[in-house]
Amino acid sequence: MQTVIWILLIAGGFCLGSIYFSGLIVAWRTGKDVCKAGSDGNPGAANAFLLCGPKWGIVCFLLAQDYKRSQKCPFSKGVTIKSLTFRSYFQFA
């Protein structure tokens, strides 16, 4: 039973992570496409903030978990924005 719960939690997290919250919220609130109407063509929370205002921009920021994405570089283990350590940037071992 516990294994089924874990599988459902992982599948649910995967599905929630694939939802395009900024695009959905901006389209719902303004009827615009966030990629075309935004400042840089990026469908992130910053453009949702610009198009929908601070309230819905913060909602997009929290739902899309942009705060977690800004903490670590996805290409290497040792690179973080906080510490700026590049110890394993080009190590392949």
- What is the model's pLDDT at position 85? 46
Check whether 77 has a pLDDT greater than 90: no
Q: Is 71 among the domain residues?
A: yes
- Split into its structural domains, the chain has a count of 1
pLDDT in tens, 45-74: 888 888 888 899 888 888 877 666 555 555
What residues make up the domain containing 83?
A: 20-93
Strand, helix or coil for residue 80: strand
Q: Is residue 12 assigned to a domain?
A: no
In-domain check, residue 6:
no
Asked whether residue 3 is assigned to any structural domain, the reply reads no
Asked, for residue 13, whether it belongs to a domain, the answer is no
Whether the pLDDT of residue 32 is over 80: the answer is yes
Residues near 77 by beta carbon (within 8 Å), at least 6 away in sequence: 88
Contact 51, 40 (CB under 8 A): no
